[in-house]
Chains A and B, each alone.
Chain A
Amino acid sequence: MNQINIKVNGEPFTVSKDESLETLLLSYQVNLNSVALVRGGQVVPKTLWAITPCEADDEIELFGVVAGG
């Protein structure tokens, strides 16, 4: 069983076991410098993305910047 199921912004997603958060983000084609990643309600600092693997049933939320006053 090399695949695990996670959720990203509420939508189901399948990743390889041991895939890092950074690799996951790259698959979303987002600019890594303009995203915040929250896992299980906690902000995961950018410096940890490359060394933190996704885990089964992770609920990941991605946030970015939008126009506002």
Chain B
Amino acid sequence: MLKIADTVFDSRLFTGTGKYACANTMLAAIEASRSQLVTMAMKRLDFHSGSDDILRPLQGSNIKLLPNTSGARNAQEAVFVAELAREVLGTHWIKLEIHPDPKYLMPDPIETLKAAETLCNKGYVVLPYVHADPVLCRRLEEVGCAAVMPLGSPIGSNQGLATETFLKIIIDQAKVPVVVDAGIGTPSQAMQAMELGADAVLVNTAIASSADPILMARCFAEAVDTGRSAYLAGLGKVSAVAQHTSPQQAPLTAFLD
């Protein structure tokens, strides 16, 4: 069972609400994913353009909402966005993300650590989105983060676990749950993250931008379950040379000599 702060999750697949063609598809995909934690963003209201109310149907479910600080360019702005989110959603959970660079959306480690410390001190449950940096993840744990969310590859890029070597180190060291976030593009990549021992994965683009998001959400749910089971079962050792699977005895055809 996965536990983050005081909350237990049956599902190890977290999902986002972005990039869906419409709110109904999003809700159906989230249901198919069996996700119990979904992310959303904060925005200054625009009275000139209507938008689907994604909040009301989600608030009526037993899904936990995880607002993010996307759009914040530094620690101060991220803390401000967390306060807005708490005001709107009544939650002190926050996905801390600070990525000022619009092209690669690389998280700023210095501002993230600064904001994490401030938010933890204010009583927030902080889940920081970071590069797969084992040292930074330890520092974030030390300031009180409830989990760490290292990236597999750039947000929305579907490039998979480009950071695998470092994810392994993070998973090995972490005393808080490790959620692999960003870049997971296929169910097999989500499964791979779970096989490595990640506690959960967060997937948005790969589901939302698929031709059939509901079916894809189900595929991810199954892949995450399988990957977790494989991790618990214990993967076999990797060897550079072949290892016999059949009994080794005197050569079977020795009598022909």
For the complex formed, measure the closest distance between the CB of A6 and the CB atoms of chain B, giving whole angstroms: 15
* Chain B 1-28 per-residue mask, 1 if CB under 8 angstroms from chain A, else 0: 0000000000000001111100000100
Asked if A64 contacts B45 (CB within 8 A), the reply is yes
Most interface-central of A28, A30, A46, A63 (chain B CB within 10 A): A63
Given contacts A36-B84, A38-B84, contact A65 B67 (CB under 8 A): yes
CB proximity of A12 to chain B, nearest CB, Å: 13
If A35-B45, A64-B43 touch, whether A69 touches B84 (CB-CB below 8 Å) is no
How many chain A residues sit at the interface, stated as a range, is 20 to 34
Digit string of A9-49 for contact with B (CB within 8 Å is 1, else 0)? 10100000000000000001011001111100001011000
Inter-chain contact B87/A45, CB cutoff 8 Å = yes
Q: Which residues of A contact B16 (CB under 8 A)?
A: 67-69
Count of chain B residues with a beta carbon within 8 Å of a chain A beta carbon:
35
Interface residues of A (CB under 8 A from B): 9, 11, 28, 30-31, 34-38, 43, 45-46, 61-69
- Name 16 A/B residue pairs within 8 A (Cβ), A-sorted: A30-B45, A34-B88, A36-B83, A36-B84, A64-B43, A64-B45, A65-B41, A66-B41, A67-B40, A68-B16, A68-B40, A69-B16, A69-B17, A69-B18, A69-B39, A69-B41
